[in-house]
Amino acid sequence: MEITKQHLILIGLMGSGKSSVSRCLSTLTGMQYLDTDWMVEAQMRKPITEIFTQFGEARFRELEHEMISKAVSESEPSIISTGGGAVVNAANRELLWRHGWVTYLQADAELLAERTARDQNRPLLHTKNPASCITELLQARAPFYEQADWLVPIRGQSIEQVAEEIHRRWRAVTRR
Protein backbone atom coordinates (compact mmCIF):
# COMPACT_ATOMS: atom_id res chain seq x y z
CA MET A 1 0.00 0.00 0.00
CA GLU A 2 1.47 3.33 -1.05
CA ILE A 3 1.14 6.13 1.45
CA THR A 4 0.81 9.67 0.20
CA LYS A 5 0.90 12.92 2.07
CA GLN A 6 -2.60 14.04 2.87
CA HIS A 7 -2.61 15.78 6.25
CA LEU A 8 -1.56 19.30 7.20
CA ILE A 9 0.72 18.96 10.24
CA LEU A 10 1.87 21.78 12.48
CA ILE A 11 5.03 21.59 14.56
CA GLY A 12 6.87 24.11 16.70
CA LEU A 13 7.75 24.94 20.26
CA MET A 14 5.09 25.57 22.90
CA GLY A 15 3.55 28.99 22.44
CA SER A 16 4.07 29.09 18.68
CA GLY A 17 0.32 28.97 18.07
CA LYS A 18 -0.09 25.47 16.69
CA SER A 19 -3.50 24.89 18.28
CA SER A 20 -4.89 28.31 17.34
CA VAL A 21 -3.60 28.17 13.76
CA SER A 22 -4.88 24.59 13.40
CA ARG A 23 -8.39 25.62 14.43
CA CYS A 24 -8.30 28.46 11.90
CA LEU A 25 -7.00 26.09 9.19
CA SER A 26 -9.81 23.68 9.97
CA THR A 27 -12.31 26.46 9.33
CA LEU A 28 -10.56 27.48 6.09
CA THR A 29 -10.32 23.95 4.70
CA GLY A 30 -13.31 22.18 6.23
CA MET A 31 -10.91 19.47 7.38
CA GLN A 32 -11.15 17.97 10.87
CA TYR A 33 -8.69 19.22 13.48
CA LEU A 34 -6.74 16.83 15.70
CA ASP A 35 -4.49 17.94 18.55
CA THR A 36 -2.21 15.13 19.75
CA ASP A 37 -1.82 16.71 23.22
CA TRP A 38 -5.59 16.83 23.64
CA MET A 39 -5.82 13.26 22.40
CA VAL A 40 -3.36 12.16 25.12
CA GLU A 41 -5.35 14.05 27.75
CA ALA A 42 -8.61 12.48 26.57
CA GLN A 43 -7.18 8.96 26.65
CA MET A 44 -5.70 9.41 30.13
CA ARG A 45 -8.54 11.61 31.40
CA LYS A 46 -5.94 13.91 32.93
CA PRO A 47 -4.20 17.12 31.94
CA ILE A 48 -0.65 16.79 30.64
CA THR A 49 0.77 18.36 33.82
CA GLU A 50 -0.75 15.51 35.87
CA ILE A 51 0.45 12.90 33.37
CA PHE A 52 4.01 14.26 33.70
CA THR A 53 3.74 14.31 37.51
CA GLN A 54 2.20 10.85 37.88
CA PHE A 55 3.89 8.92 35.09
CA GLY A 56 6.86 11.02 33.95
CA GLU A 57 7.88 12.46 30.63
CA ALA A 58 8.87 9.07 29.17
CA ARG A 59 5.32 7.72 29.56
CA PHE A 60 3.89 10.92 28.12
CA ARG A 61 6.15 10.52 25.06
CA GLU A 62 4.91 6.94 24.57
CA LEU A 63 1.31 8.13 24.67
CA GLU A 64 2.17 11.00 22.33
CA HIS A 65 3.59 8.52 19.80
CA GLU A 66 0.41 6.41 20.02
CA MET A 67 -1.75 9.50 19.33
CA ILE A 68 0.43 10.61 16.41
CA SER A 69 0.09 7.11 14.92
CA LYS A 70 -3.66 7.30 15.37
CA ALA A 71 -3.94 10.82 13.92
CA VAL A 72 -1.93 10.15 10.77
CA SER A 73 -3.90 6.96 10.11
CA GLU A 74 -7.13 8.94 9.69
CA SER A 75 -8.53 8.18 6.25
CA GLU A 76 -9.71 11.73 5.62
CA PRO A 77 -7.19 14.57 5.34
CA SER A 78 -6.88 16.31 8.70
CA ILE A 79 -5.18 19.24 10.37
CA ILE A 80 -2.85 17.77 13.01
CA SER A 81 -1.29 19.84 15.76
CA THR A 82 1.55 18.12 17.62
CA GLY A 83 3.17 18.74 20.97
CA GLY A 84 6.37 20.78 20.87
CA GLY A 85 8.59 17.81 21.66
CA ALA A 86 7.00 15.32 19.27
CA VAL A 87 9.68 15.82 16.62
CA VAL A 88 12.50 14.72 18.92
CA ASN A 89 11.36 11.10 18.47
CA ALA A 90 12.62 9.70 15.13
CA ALA A 91 9.60 7.40 14.79
CA ASN A 92 7.27 10.40 15.17
CA ARG A 93 9.21 12.36 12.55
CA GLU A 94 8.99 9.45 10.11
CA LEU A 95 5.21 9.20 10.56
CA LEU A 96 4.60 12.93 10.36
CA TRP A 97 6.73 13.56 7.27
CA ARG A 98 5.44 10.47 5.47
CA HIS A 99 1.76 11.25 6.02
CA GLY A 100 1.58 15.01 5.83
CA TRP A 101 2.79 18.39 4.79
CA VAL A 102 4.74 19.46 7.87
CA THR A 103 4.78 23.15 8.72
CA TYR A 104 7.09 24.66 11.32
CA LEU A 105 5.60 27.68 13.06
CA GLN A 106 8.89 29.46 13.58
CA ALA A 107 9.29 31.90 16.46
CA ASP A 108 12.20 33.22 18.44
CA ALA A 109 12.72 32.37 22.11
CA GLU A 110 11.73 35.86 23.25
CA LEU A 111 8.28 35.69 21.64
CA LEU A 112 7.71 32.16 22.93
CA ALA A 113 8.69 33.22 26.46
CA GLU A 114 6.22 36.12 26.27
CA ARG A 115 3.42 33.85 25.10
CA THR A 116 3.98 31.17 27.73
CA ALA A 117 4.91 33.41 30.68
CA ARG A 118 1.71 32.89 32.65
CA ASP A 119 0.75 29.44 31.40
CA GLN A 120 0.88 26.94 34.24
CA ASN A 121 -0.01 24.02 31.94
CA ARG A 122 3.50 23.64 30.51
CA PRO A 123 5.28 21.03 32.66
CA LEU A 124 8.68 21.60 31.05
CA LEU A 125 8.52 25.26 32.11
CA HIS A 126 8.07 24.50 35.81
CA THR A 127 11.60 25.75 36.50
CA LYS A 128 13.17 28.78 38.15
CA ASN A 129 13.99 30.26 34.73
CA PRO A 130 11.38 29.35 32.12
CA ALA A 131 12.81 31.78 29.52
CA SER A 132 16.17 30.02 29.68
CA CYS A 133 14.40 26.66 29.36
CA ILE A 134 12.63 27.87 26.21
CA THR A 135 15.93 29.00 24.71
CA GLU A 136 17.52 25.62 25.44
CA LEU A 137 14.54 23.67 24.07
CA LEU A 138 14.46 25.78 20.92
CA GLN A 139 18.19 25.28 20.31
CA ALA A 140 17.88 21.51 20.85
CA ARG A 141 14.78 21.08 18.69
CA ALA A 142 15.44 23.58 15.89
CA PRO A 143 17.38 21.05 13.75
CA PHE A 144 14.27 18.82 13.76
CA TYR A 145 11.79 21.65 13.24
CA GLU A 146 13.80 23.01 10.33
CA GLN A 147 13.34 19.73 8.42
CA ALA A 148 9.70 20.73 7.87
CA ASP A 149 8.29 21.06 4.37
CA TRP A 150 7.43 24.67 5.13
CA LEU A 151 8.81 27.18 7.63
CA VAL A 152 6.36 29.95 8.45
CA PRO A 153 7.64 32.82 10.63
CA ILE A 154 4.93 33.95 13.02
CA ARG A 155 6.29 37.19 14.51
CA GLY A 156 4.06 40.10 13.56
CA GLN A 157 1.45 37.88 11.90
CA SER A 158 -2.08 37.23 13.08
CA ILE A 159 -3.37 33.70 13.50
CA GLU A 160 -5.48 34.20 10.38
CA GLN A 161 -2.50 35.41 8.32
CA VAL A 162 -0.42 32.39 9.34
CA ALA A 163 -3.31 30.02 8.57
CA GLU A 164 -3.90 31.66 5.19
CA GLU A 165 -0.21 31.33 4.28
CA ILE A 166 -0.20 27.61 5.14
CA HIS A 167 -3.49 27.12 3.29
CA ARG A 168 -2.07 28.84 0.21
CA ARG A 169 1.00 26.58 0.24
CA TRP A 170 -1.12 23.46 0.79
CA ARG A 171 -3.45 24.35 -2.12
CA ALA A 172 -0.42 24.90 -4.38
CA VAL A 173 0.91 21.36 -3.78
CA THR A 174 -2.40 19.51 -3.57
CA ARG A 175 -4.32 21.49 -6.19
CA ARG A 176 -7.32 21.64 -3.81
Taking the domains of the chain in order of start, what are their residue ranges?
7-169
List residues bridging with 78 in a β-sheet: 32
Contact present, 36 and 83 (Cβ < 8 Å): yes
Report whether pLDDT(124) > 70.
no
Report whether pLDDT(176) > 90.
no
Quick one: angle between helices 90-99 and 48-72, nearest 10? Answer: 40
Report whether pLDDT(122) > 80.
no
pTM: 0.89
Question: Which is higher by pLDDT, 40 or 131?
Answer: 40
Contact present, 100 and 92 (Cβ < 8 Å): no
Q: What is the mean pLDDT of residues 8-37?
A: 94
Report whether pLDDT(1) > 50.
no
Q: Give the number of other Cβ atoms within 10 Å of residue 123's Cβ.
A: 17
Instruction: Label residue 143 by pLDDT band (50, 70, 90).
Output: very high
Q: What is the mean pLDDT of residues 72-84?
A: 94
Does the domain made of 7-169 have the CATH classification 3.40.50.300? yes
CA 110 to the chain's CA centroid: 19
Percent of the chain with pLDDT over 70: 89
Mean pLDDT of the chain: 89
